[in-house]
């Protein structure tokens, strides 16, 4: 099996073909750059109102407190915080993580916690530990683009399960399990975001939580509960986590990215004991350990600051932005659009009038200086073309209102085009489209 030597000299690397194209792993077929990535480079210009990004708004963080905390970490714990740590994570931080989880009814043990490089890495490690190529992962329809990217990169097949205003639909979950198994295929887990869903904005009701757990117990399906937004509810106390009522059948993922700082890259998994052991081995192989310095910094922030008071302020800020977005949608959008009113988190899921394609419309929206993420990004199967995700987390209320006003103008023009030329108008299409739009940090 002699290979032909590839050319080693010639034009600069950036202008030549990829000489490695035949040598990549099969899994790279599922690791493709987003078609809309180039558009997002444009969308990051200041004149564009981006309703696309999922970045938390950290402008309210007390930088004086954080500055003192990180300086204190160096002065008081430098020898440990600047050194390698254990693959499982800093013991004191794992205790604090258990205190955080207690707010959602979880009675977890620090020994069952693995600290990860953001909860994104936790999704990656769980998938690495469980999934062979061709295994099925059940996901809500739509689902988080970054998780879909992980599942694709491990060559899993995603089967979407319907949601409604109360979250995942139990009957649809039963049906999906039955149909996948009838096809002789193996389900490795149900990936779910019960609170303030990304991108759908909905929350799984308490009654549904019990029902979903009951189904997964009866059918022996592991639940991967991803909960980055659980403490960011606008109206009520945090909901009880799935993990609070099921110890062995749930791997729970949490994160400090939305409640403190994504730049620290500190998330975690709480897993049944045997799974936790595998996750630690996977973590050691992937990165040796999550960043020690970040772990000490998060630990110091939690110890030294009123972090719950800080989260309360964040919730107020996000609620004000949510209100601004809902009011603007109501004021500017035609009645043939529909959307939900999220009770927490960052996102509104908007359904466009029949026949309008959100991805085809995006270039015109960016030209009109507003950006969003087309719904297809959140499906592994090309569905979602008539939907889009709007984020209210980052811009000011005034900018949000202006962004929705611009979006309404673009949509009106699109609808006129369709009324004049019908479904054959360029860029106007309906039904599932091929292609997967993520992941990218812009979309997270």
Shortest Å, Cβ 30 to a second copy: 9
Q: Cα separation of 256 and 235, whole Å?
A: 21
For a second copy, the closer of residues 287 and 396 by Cβ is: 287
Nearer to a second copy, 222 or 328 (CB): 222
Q: Which of residues 145-174 bind a second copy (CB under 8 A)?
A: 146, 149-150, 153
Least distance CB 298 / a second copy (angstroms): 10
| CA triple 310-315-320, angle to 5 deg | 130
The secondary structure element, H or E, covering residue 359 is: helix 358-367
Smallest gap from Cβ 305 to a second copy, in A, equals: 13
- Smallest distance from a second copy to CB 271, Å: 10
Window 213 to 272, contacts with a second copy (CB under 8 A): 217-220, 222, 246-249, 257, 261-265, 272
Question: Residues 359-378: x/- map of binding to a second copy (CB under 8 A)?
Answer: --------------------
Cα distance between residue 233 and residue 285, in whole Å? 36
Size, binding site for a second copy by CB under 8 A: 110
The span from the first CA to the last CA of the chain, in angstroms, equals 42
Say if residue 72 is exposed, middle or buried (CB neighbours under 10 Å; 0-12, 13-18, 19+). middle
Vertex 135 angle, CA 131 and 140, to 5°: 95
Rounded to the nearest whole angstrom, what is the least distance from the CB of residue 134 to a second copy in the complex?
11
Nearer to a second copy, 94 or 418 (CB): 94
Q: Draw the binding track, 4-23, toward a second copy (x: CB under 8 A; -: no contact).
A: xxx-x----xx-xxxxxx-x
Residue with smaller CB distance to a second copy, 34 or 385 = 34
**How many C-beta neighbours within 10 Å does residue 425 have?**
16
Which of positions 86-115 make contact with a second copy (CB under 8 A)?
86-87, 111-112
Residues in contact with a second copy, shown as a per-residue x/- string from 270 to 289 under the rule CB under 8 A = --xxxx-xx--xx-xxxxxx
Q: What residues from 38 to 77 belong to the interface with a second copy (CB under 8 A)?
A: 55-56, 58-59, 61, 63, 66-68, 70-71, 73-75
Phi/psi for 9 (5° steps) reads -130, 180
Residues 281 and 258: their CA atoms lie apart, in Å, by 27
Interacting residue with a second copy among 121, 198, 259, 299 (CB under 8 A): 121
Closer by beta carbon to a second copy, 14 or else 420: 14
| CA 207, 208, 209, 214 torsion-angle sign | positive
Q: Which of 80, 245, 381, 402 binds a second copy (CB under 8 A)?
A: 80
Q: Does 292 bind a second copy (CB under 8 A)?
A: yes
- Side-chain-facing half-sphere of 223: CA atoms under 13 Å: 31
DSSP 73-133: HHHHHHHHHTS---TT--HHHHHHHHHHHHTTT----GGGEEEESHHHHHHHHHHHHH--T
Q: In whole angstroms, how far apart are CA 385 and each of 53, 129, 142, 317, 336?
A: 19, 33, 11, 31, 16
Residue 83 or 338: the one with the smaller Cβ distance to a second copy is 83
The minimum distance between CB 45 and a second copy, in angstroms, equals: 16
């Amino acid at each position: 099996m002699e290979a032909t030597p590839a050319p080693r000299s010639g034009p600069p690397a950036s202008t030549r073909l990829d000489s490695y194209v035949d040598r990549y792993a099969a899994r790279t077929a599922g690791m493709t750059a987003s078609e809309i990535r180039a558009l997002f480079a444009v969308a990051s210009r200041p004149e564009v109102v981006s309703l696309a990004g999922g970045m938390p708004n950290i402008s309210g963080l007390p930088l004086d407190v954080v500055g003192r905390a990180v300086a204190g970490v160096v002065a008081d714990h430098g020898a440990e915080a600047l050194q390698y740590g254990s693959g499982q994570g800093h013991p004191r931080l794992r205790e604090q993580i258990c205190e955080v989880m207690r707010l959602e009814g979880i009675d977890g043990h620090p020994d069952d916690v693995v600290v990860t490089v953001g909860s994104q890495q936790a999704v990656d490690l769980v998938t690495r530990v469980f999934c062979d190529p061709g295994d099925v992962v059940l996901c809500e329809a739509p689902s988080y683009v970054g998780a879909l990217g992980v599942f694709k990169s491990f060559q899993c097949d995603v089967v979407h399960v319907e949601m409604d205003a109360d979250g995942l639909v139990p009957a649809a979950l039963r049906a999906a399990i039955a149909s996948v198994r009838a096809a002789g295929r193996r389900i490795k887990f149900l990936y779910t975001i019960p609170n303030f869903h990304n991108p759908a904005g909905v929350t799984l009701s308490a009654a549904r939580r019990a029902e979903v757990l009951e189904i997964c117990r009866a059918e022996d399906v592991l639940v991967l509960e991803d909960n980055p937004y659980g403490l960011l509810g606008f109206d009520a106390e945090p909901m009880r986590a799935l993990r609070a009522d099921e110890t062995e059948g749930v791997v729970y993922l949490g994160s400090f990215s939305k409640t403190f700082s994504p730049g620290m890259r500190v998330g975690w998994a709480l897993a049944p004991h045997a799974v936790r052991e595998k996750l630690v081995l996977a973590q050691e192989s992937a990165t040796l350990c999550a960043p020690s310095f970040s772990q000490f910094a998060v630990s110091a922030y939690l110890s030294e600051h009123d972090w719950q008071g800080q989260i309360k302020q964040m919730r107020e800020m996000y609620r004000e932005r949510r209100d601004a977005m809902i009011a603007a949608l109501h004021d500017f959008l035609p009645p043939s659009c529909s959307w939900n009113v999220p009770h927490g988190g960052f996102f509104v899921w908007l359904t466009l009038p029949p026949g309008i394609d959100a991805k085809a419309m995006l270039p015109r929206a960016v030209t009109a200086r507003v950006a969003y993420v087309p719904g297809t990004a959140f499906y592994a199967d090309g569905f979602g073309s008539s939907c889009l995700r709007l984020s209210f987390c980052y811009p000011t209320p005034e900018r949000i209102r202006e962004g929705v006003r611009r979006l309404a103008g673009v949509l009106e023009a699109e609808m006129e085009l369709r009324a004049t030329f019908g479904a054959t108008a360029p860029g106007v299409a309906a039904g599932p489209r091929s292609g997967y739009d993520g992941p990218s940090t812009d979309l997270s």
